[in-house]
Amino acid sequence: MNLETLQGMWKTDSKLDDDLHDNDSIAIPQLHMKYMEYHNMFSLMKKERVIEMKRLIRDKWLYYKGKAPATIYKEMPFDLKLTTKEEISMFIDADEEVGKLQFKIDYIEQVLFFLDGVLRMINSRTYHIKNAIEWKRFQSGM
């Protein structure tokens, strides 16, 4: 499941039927549950990635500080001697693995932002339906 798929689903699910507002109203709890499940799934996914990021940063800190096991330096040599926190932080921030994982976390945050908006729209859907019904009454002269 990705953001594009969720957006496509919401594009379909967000439409209200002009003639069947009762069905739209009845469908609100199911829609809420559907998107709440996705929200929960991505929230847990984000928590996993954040824990993964903390471990990766710890490992990168050990690597750039020169305290990692010797076998790691045989695979990926690092000849510089970094002494300050700023130097180590700069190398960690610029590290490709850290950048890729940060992108994944940012992507999940964007999906959660989208899902928060969808859930807010679903929660206010009864007001939209009520307004649509009142507008129809007004147009028909009631």
pLDDT digits over 4-62, tens only? 999 999 999 988 877 766 778 888 899 999 999 999 999 999 999 999 999 999 999 99
Domain count for the chain: 1
How far apart CA 45 and CA 60 sit, in angstroms, is 22
Q: Which residue has the higher pLDDT, 128 or 101?
A: 101
Span 84-124, pLDDT tens digits: 999 999 999 999 999 999 999 999 999 999 999 999 999 88
Q: Does some domain include residue 18?
A: no
Q: Is there a domain that residue 28 lies in?
A: no
* CA gyration radius, the chain: 25
Beta strands, E only, 3-142? none
**Domain-embedded: residue 12:** no
- 125 CB-side CA count, 13 A: 24
CA–CA distance, 5 with 12 (Å, rounded to integer): 11
Higher pLDDT pick, 129 / 77 = 77
The boundaries of the domain holding residue 57 are: 35-139
Residue at 116 is within a domain? yes
Query: Greater confidence, 50 or 131?
Result: 50
The DSSP code for 54 is: H
Please indicate, yes or no, if residue 8 is contained in any of the structural domains: no
Measured CA distances, 142 to 97, 132, 137, 139 (Å): 64, 14, 5, 8
Residue 121's pLDDT is what?
Answer: 93
pLDDT at 133 over 90: no
Q: Looking at the domain assignment, is residue 126 inside a domain?
A: yes
Is residue 111 situated within a structural domain? yes
